[in-house]
Amino acid sequence: MTDTWHTAVTDIQPNRVAVRGYDIADLMGRVSFGAAVYLILTGNLPDEKTGRLLDAILVSSIDHGATPPSCLAARTVASTGASLSQSVAAGIMSINKHHGGAIQDCALALGNLLSDAESNNQSLDEAATALVAHIKSTGSRISGFGHRVHRKDPRTARLFELAAEAGLTEDKARHVAAARAVERAFAATGKPLPINVDGAIGAILADLGIDPAVFNGFFMIARVPGLIAHVTEEQTRERPMRRIDPVNHAYDGPSPRSLNESK
Amino acid sequence: MTDTWHTAVTDIQPNRVAVRGYDIADLMGRVSFGAAVYLILTGNLPDEKTGRLLDAILVSSIDHGATPPSCLAARTVASTGASLSQSVAAGIMSINKHHGGAIQDCALALGNLLSDAESNNQSLDEAATALVAHIKSTGSRISGFGHRVHRKDPRTARLFELAAEAGLTEDKARHVAAARAVERAFAATGKPLPINVDGAIGAILADLGIDPAVFNGFFMIARVPGLIAHVTEEQTRERPMRRIDPVNHAYDGPSPRSLNESK
Amino acid sequence: MTDTWHTAVTDIQPNRVAVRGYDIADLMGRVSFGAAVYLILTGNLPDEKTGRLLDAILVSSIDHGATPPSCLAARTVASTGASLSQSVAAGIMSINKHHGGAIQDCALALGNLLSDAESNNQSLDEAATALVAHIKSTGSRISGFGHRVHRKDPRTARLFELAAEAGLTEDKARHVAAARAVERAFAATGKPLPINVDGAIGAILADLGIDPAVFNGFFMIARVPGLIAHVTEEQTRERPMRRIDPVNHAYDGPSPRSLNESK
Amino acid sequence: MTDTWHTAVTDIQPNRVAVRGYDIADLMGRVSFGAAVYLILTGNLPDEKTGRLLDAILVSSIDHGATPPSCLAARTVASTGASLSQSVAAGIMSINKHHGGAIQDCALALGNLLSDAESNNQSLDEAATALVAHIKSTGSRISGFGHRVHRKDPRTARLFELAAEAGLTEDKARHVAAARAVERAFAATGKPLPINVDGAIGAILADLGIDPAVFNGFFMIARVPGLIAHVTEEQTRERPMRRIDPVNHAYDGPSPRSLNESK
């Protein structure tokens, strides 16, 4: 026999399930899924605006089309006749340092910038200018800035807007402020490199005080619905074992429509 | 070179990401993650109450402690020094016919009951009585009824309450009505066997008109945050390669607390 | 506490590891890996020629270049910075009904042909002619015959040669005989469709009396080294997150060489 | 369209499959699977005795009963109704730093010992004595020495015997010699800590000149048959969703038997 071990996540009693102390039946209908995610990962319930921000973070990353490796891995496995759980798992397994990892890496880089500014007695803009100069001279790069497709990622602006509504204004939100300073420093070189959606999520999660070890987890949670949609589409629309071109694909879903039309 | 192929999930243009036609930046902050999940899986946005119902469904299944095989598989893999994505994937891979599958199986059984009632010109109660008699006499079982731990699952009552608020009253929600009829038929035998949370979710998703092929997907989406919490706990709190007892564990997290305290 | 449960695979005692009753230290250096695979999957040691046949089956499927979905899934996951075990697992997860599954499906189809011939009092050639006529008239297909690349798969002839050396001559090896009859029946239609390597392995494993439930397992065992080679190559030779074209790739390894040169 | 990319593993031509330049049909029946593994991972065919050594390494690790996390993860996933490939993949995913990783870690530690001895102008025994003293004084440990179950692992002695037969005698096999020196140094402290099977494999693979990045790969290749045997047993012998005790299990397979009986 092995010893009894302990978990602080969920208490299971007959007729009672309590996550981090809260009866799950009380949470249902009263908090959004984003708020429940925050609860289970941090141990505390967020206020309502922060809960809404968490939902927005999850919504922002729910899918990015057929090109990301998580989608291609999931579709490739799905095309062999795999089950849904197996196909989705293959997608999840693609979320690593080079795919999704910018969320954590950007937060760490911004954290280092904040420490440097403090220990060097610099303003954020001075520290960011020094960092960007270093990046330019060494040919290195900083995670979370720039994007293969988007020059001005629409998701980023919206995230910062919602972060501000949730009280993460630049004077309080140090990582967001650092990200803005880096953007200004890049712009001053004549080659602007705006923060991307991964970078914005990393800055915001860091300012919310969340453990960096689970940052990639937010991306996994967000992306599972997209993976399910792609796996289902692959298995209903395509023939098994086809060769899946990672570039030559096109969108043929609904035309652009606005929220007002539908509600 | 391979031919161009098509996807109807998400359109990626420079500076624009549109899920099923909706600009993702418009969705952020305006719809909950549950509503976005409904959108990406069905192609349409739900109304606000249905969106809230979807969030409640996801919240209801966010975790069920350390005993389910998905949690044990994730912890076992995590204990070998695996990455977060690898450990979570092992958990997802455990969501199959016997774990989570009751959601789909119950919906199918209730659908069959509805067809039988119609083709036999029976009331739902008559058809359910016949079904339960058949189950009793053959020693077979029906997915989605009864639970190893809970006699009266608190999540079920709350789900049906929220379903009613979203307009899924028994006269419109045929699968929910069928589930209730089966409960009454079991109760009439003197051995009540209430619907469990999987069965309730299956009935509600069926009444929302969602494709049964993705029912298990809702459970996967819901459970990822719980898996992340357990994997993180395993890797920070336990020694590598420990032998994980599936039964001898206890909860030592926060004491019971109510939503009112915190907000 | 849970009850004690039992396993008949391997006995672990202090200073003794015994697989299906054989001390593993006795097996080492005396039987090939193919023979040990046969032992652990069937419970019995093969004779030496059958052991060599098993090794040949494993060698025949060790790799098939960069195109199969198992290779592409493993490389896609590897390109995100995944660990070796995670990348290999993604490859394994692609071995399903449509990839590798022909081994089992062909064995079952040949088994059905054998039953049909017997119950209809037909020769194998008569039964095969009827089967091929049915396939032609209904536009259906039979697993294990034909190949996307090879018209005359060199591995197949060699496998049957080694099977004959191991005593699986056509009079004893009923599934192999059935496969030959199907080949003759296709040839008689003027459109020859030779058995492929999956079909040959399926026929031979069936004639060796192995449980069809593990046929795909032989393919998994065989392919892991190939997956490891591709994952290592991907992570050392290519940049992360590249888009992996499933068709536009070429071989640039060692030129053709013969066994005699090297030994 | 993406650019053509290259692979040096396997050349696929119509009617020809060549692994690292060798026609696979030539390899079949002439080299063991262990030799083919060496070929695909290193690019060269081993001589016959080294090929036999490779087979012995794979045989030595084919299974270790129901307790290792790879077996428990595979059985846990299998118990949910998963497919064979999914269950085996979960097992593979458990082969990481803390499970199997000792193969690579021990080889690296022995490599460091060899460097230290050289740069300090010490004999191997002097360097090993210093290393063991350091381990004892700091309470640290060295991978690949000691075992939870075996005091004198029977597989280790046999591996070194076969390595010597293949020409890896201590004067040529520097990592093996270093391992022996560490054993002697531990014995001299009065608390012997013999090298275990992982450590022995690591030392031998290093002396064979194999890239440490694929050492864990040998363990994966070796263990897949064991995982398949356990998954099959789980799905045929046990009820779904049982709680799998990692300790309370017993062997009930064939009694001890010797190779001579069967062949």
Domain boundaries, chain D: 11-45, 102-213
Q: Do D243 and B247 touch (CB under 8 A)?
A: yes
Per-residue pLDDT at C59 exceeds 90: yes
Q: What is the pLDDT of residues A206-216, one digit of tens each?
A: 999 999 999 99
Q: Do A69 and C241 touch (CB under 8 A)?
A: yes
Provide the pLDDT confidence category of residue D149 given band limits of 50, 70 and 90. Answer: confident
User: Cβ contacts (< 8 Å) between C5 and chain D: which residues?
Assistant: 238, 242, 244-245, 248-250
Q: Do A82 and D83 touch (CB under 8 A)?
A: yes
The residue that leads in pLDDT, C172 or D98, is D98
Report the pLDDT averaged over residues A7-16.
95
DSSP state of B256: P
Report the pLDDT averaged over residues B69-76.
98
The confidence score (pLDDT) of residue D2 equals 62
Q: For A18, name the nearest residue in chain B, comparing CA atoms only.
A: B256
Q: Do C82 and B82 touch (CB under 8 A)?
A: no
User: Cβ contacts (< 8 Å) between A245 and chain C: which residues?
Assistant: 245-247
Q: What is the pLDDT of residues D65-119, one digit of tens each?
A: 999 999 999 999 999 999 999 999 999 999 999 999 999 999 999 999 999 999 9
Q: Do B83 and C86 touch (CB under 8 A)?
A: yes
Q: For C35, name the nearest residue in chain D, comparing CA atoms only.
A: D59
Q: Which residues contact B137 (CB under 8 A, 6 or more apart)?
A: none
- Chain A residues whose C-beta sits inside 8 Å of any chain C C-beta: 1, 67, 69-70, 72-73, 76-77, 79-82, 86, 89-90, 93-99, 101, 240-241, 243-247
Q: Do A40 and B229 touch (CB under 8 A)?
A: yes
CA distance A161 to B25: 11
CATH 1.10.230.10 assigned to domain B102-213? The reply is: yes
A156 contacts A193 by C-beta, under 8 angstroms: no
Average pLDDT over chain B reads 94
The confidence score (pLDDT) of residue A172 equals 83
DSSP state of C16: E
Per-residue pLDDT at B1 exceeds 60: no
**For residue D147, which of D222, D189, D198 has the smallest C-alpha distance?**
D198
Per-residue pLDDT at A9 exceeds 50: yes
CA distance B62 to B40: 20
Q: Most B CBs within 10 Å: which of D70, D71, D76, D92, as the mutation test of the B interface?
A: D76
User: Cβ contacts (< 8 Å) between B49 and chain A: which residues?
Assistant: none
A231 contacts A78 by C-beta, under 8 angstroms: yes
CA distance A173 to A185: 19
Give the three-state DSSP class for C15.
coil
User: Kind of pairing, strands A16-19 and A10-13?
Assistant: antiparallel
User: Cβ contacts (< 8 Å) between B247 and chain D: which residues?
Assistant: 243, 245
Q: For B245, name the nearest residue in chain C, comparing CA atoms only.
A: C1
Q: For B247, name the nearest residue in chain C, comparing CA atoms only.
A: C1
Per-residue pLDDT at A150 exceeds 80: no
Q: For D242, name the nearest residue in chain B, comparing CA atoms only.
A: B69
Report the pLDDT averaged over residues C104-126.
96
CA of C161 vs chain A CAs: smallest distance (Å)? 30
Q: Which residues contact D169 (CB under 8 A, 6 or more apart)?
A: none
Report the pLDDT averaged over residues B91-103.
95
Q: For C247, name the nearest residue in chain D, comparing CA atoms only.
A: D4
User: Cβ contacts (< 8 Å) between C86 and chain B: which residues?
Assistant: 82-83, 85-86, 89
**For residue D99, which of C224, C39, B243 has the smallest C-alpha distance?**
B243
Beta-sheet strands, E only, within B102-168: none
CA of C108 vs chain D CAs: smallest distance (Å)? 18
List of chains touching C (3+ CB pairs within 8 A): A, B, D
**For residue C221, which of D84, B78, B92 has the smallest C-alpha distance?**
D84
* CA contacts within 13 A on the Cβ side of C210: 30
The complex's ipTM works out to: 0.96
The pTM (predicted TM-score) of the whole model is 0.96
Of C1, C33, C257, which has the smallest distance from its Cβ to D22's Cβ? C257
Q: What is the pLDDT of residues D194-236, one digit of tens each?
A: 999 999 999 999 999 999 989 999 999 999 999 999 999 999 9
Compute the Cα dihedral for D20, D25, D30, D31 and give only its sign.
positive
